[in-house]
Structure formats: C-alpha cells, structure tokens
Amino acid sequence: MFDLAKTRIGIIGLGYVGLPLAVELGKHFPTVGFDINETRIRELLAGTDSTLEVEPEELKQSKQLRYASRAEDLQECNVYIVTVPTPVDDYKRPDFAPLIGASTTVGRLLKPGDVAIYESTVYPGATEEVCIPILARESGLRFNQDFFAGYSPERINPGDKAHRVTTIRKVTSGSTPEAADYVDALYRRIITAGTHKASSIRVAEAAKVIENTQRDVNIALVNELALLFERLGIDTEEVLLAAGSKWNFLPFRPGLVGGHCIGVDPYYLTHKAQEIGYHPEMILAGRRINDGMGPYVVQRVVKLMNQRRIPVMDAKVLVMGLTFKENCPDLRNTRVVDIVKEFRDYNARVDVYDPWVDAREARHEYDIDLIQEPEAGHYDAVILAVAHQQFQEMGTERIRALGKPNSVLFDVKYVFPSDAVDGRL
C-alpha cells in the first residue's frame, strides 16, 4: 500500500519548522510547501526566508519544492505533514486553533491510501483525540482503513546553525505497524543522524513534550537557586562554575524562559494530567518560578537604582534584545516583554533595541516600538536581556556609554564578568 517511490508531500505551515523540512524533502520528493500567509509565500518565491533558518542558496537546491497558499494546490499530494504551532491561550490552556484549521484543510484533501503526519508538539493522545476525528469527518474516510496517520515531533532549534533538521535524530511513529515503517523510511531519506521508531503515536507525543518539560524544570531549579544566592550575597555564576567542575553536573544557567517550546510545552502536559485527575506539582512549580523571572529582574534593577538615588518614575530604561533567544529573529513567547511591562508599570520610559527583530512584528505582537539605535549617555538603566553576538562584540565599555554616568548595567544572560556589570542573575 505504501510506496516511497510514489510519495508526493504537502507541508502545512512554512515557519521555523516547516520550511527547513520542506527544503530537505524537496531534494528527494515532489513537495508542496503550503502556508495561508501569502506574504510568506511571496518572500519564499523571491528566494528569501525572514526566519533566517534557510539560506537563499539552500532554497535553490530544493529542486522539487514549490510553494502555494491555495489548498487546491495540494490535491496531488498523498502525504501531508502538519507543522503548525501549538500555542497556549491567556489562561495557559492549549490553543488547538492552528492544529484544527490545518486538520480541516488536510481532511478535505485526503484520498484513500493517504497519510497525515503531525510534527506539532501536543500532549499524549492529542493526535488521535483531536486531529484524527477531524480528518475522518472532513474526508468521509475510515481511519486505519482508508487513511493513516503518523507523528514525528519537530526538534528544530531556531538560530542553531550546528544542529539542523537533518543532523538531529528524529522520533517517528505511525498508526499501524505498516504506517510506522513507512513514516520512518520517509524521514530516513533526509535525516542523516538516523531515526528512533516509537511503538505508538502516544509514546512519540509524550517523548516530545517531556524533552522541553525536563529542561523547563531544570532551569526553574537554577532560577530558584539564583533567587536564594542573591539573598545570601553569593554570585550564582561562581557557584555554578564550581559545581560544574564535577563531570555529571548539568550546565543550566538562570534566565528568562520563553520561546515556542520550553515556555509552552509543559502546559500541554499539565493540561492533560489535570484532565485525567492528576495534579502535576513539580512541573507547575517550575512554570511559576520561570514565569516570574521577568518581574524579578526588574525588582533587582530597581533596587540598584534606588541605591544610587535614581528615581524609577520617568527613568529612561534601555532593554537590549527582545527575541526569546540569541542570534535569531524569533519573538514567539519571549519573556523579555515581562521586563518591559513591569518597568512601564513603574512609569519608567522604556526603549527596546534589537537589530534582529522586524519592527512591524514587534509592534503587531507586543505593541512595542523598537528604536533603530540607542542614544549614547541617555539612559538611567541598561538591561542586557538577550545575548546577541552584536551585543557581545560591543563590550561593556560601549554598552555602558549608552547610560548616564551613574546608570545601572544589569546582565540577564551572563555575557560579561560580574565585575564588569552592576548586577546579574
């Protein structure tokens, strides 16, 4: 039933996950990259990628890849790979709207023998409980008789040029043993690092969601230690370096925990846990600690300003960096906005500077107007919130020059030594 030689692929969603995958698959199979954002399609047709995940030369190398914003252009496909985001709403509940929309689109296209593969991060069971019924309803086909499904969680790390889609081992799974073999063989065509075939879709879903939950809890522990050591008057970095002299100490550092994965995925797992009557104490405690780090940073900076008799009201504050991590333009779920909001609550005047970010996106997503270039000698406090390479290359001397003579420089990301800044986590 499954023939790799006759595979024609449709990728649903061309963001940080979908585009790199489409480019690699397009080197081996006829592939259609589909996105409802027509601006995104036009930019890719012009040979550029605003996410900076794929270089223009790489886009040219994918000879069998074409782009589309109309669902009808996917009709010839027999494998559909869904790579849309799975955010949470304002109440930290899973927001399945993108996944439901994508499943509806795919369901209307499904033909007997087709396979739908999901890469979006969800809780264990979501693919079969949320997505498959939509596919069956919209197509009128029977699951595991007329059409089949797979799940292969994305492991893209935005901005990471060393770990690419082909060099990260891929977890695969399918709704039947035969479908699982086919999905695994499909990904093995492009994944040089190899694959790990899970025994079921639910196992693959669980494996993905705990990857980031584990990191979230570990970072929360280090964040809590930073809160403790600050009260004890001990430099957290010095403690971590000393502890890290042991071979099996995990090298986590305190900081803001945002992005499309670590700051979101645990809520999918806790949602499912509570749905079945289990209260996940450690995971939710970790989330509370990490979600509180933005206000804590502001509290530390305000304390330093008070010590220097700098009034916080109407103070001029510069926040350097807005993305959720260094050296990429990704703004999804960035927790730097917590710092901006908290300072605004103090009635401080906040400028945000980030050369990686599209100013229109910052305005649209967070109502933040980026400045093009910070003014020297202008600020009462400067917060280095993201460790972009440009900021590291500036050095503390040039960054301090942005502030007034008595200003505070706070380093959230441990970019500079403790004796070169006024405070850090």
Q: Mind telling me the catalytic residues?
A: 261
Residue indicated by tokens 């030594």: 417
Residue 25 token pair: 């698959």
> H or E segment at 424?
strand 423-424
Q: How many angstroms separate the most distant Cα atoms in the chain?
A: 75
Buried-exposed string 195-228: b where 16+ CB fall within 10 A, e elsewhere: bebbeebbebbbbbbbbbbebbbebbbbbebbee
Tokens of 220: 């929360």
Enclosing H/E stretch for 148? strand 148-151
Which is nearest to 200 in space by CA: 267, 154, 152? 152
Tell how far CA 357 is from the center of its chain: 15
Residue 287 · residue 267 · CB < 8 Å? yes
Pull the structure tokens for residue 156: 């893209």
Asked if 335 and 293 count as a contact pair (C-beta separation under 8 A), the reply is yes
Alpha carbons 103 and 109: distance in angstroms, whole number: 10
C-alpha span between 338 and 256 (Å, rounded): 9
DSSP structural state of residue 72: G
DSSP code at position 325: S
> Which phi and psi (to 5°) does residue 143 adopt?
-65, 135
CA distance 136 to 368: 42
Question: For 396, phi and psi rounded to 5 degrees?
Answer: -65, -30
Under DSSP, is residue 95 helix (H, G, I), strand (E, B) or coil?
Answer: coil
Please state whether beta strands 148-151 and 195-197 pair in parallel, antiparallel, or not at all (unpaired). unpaired
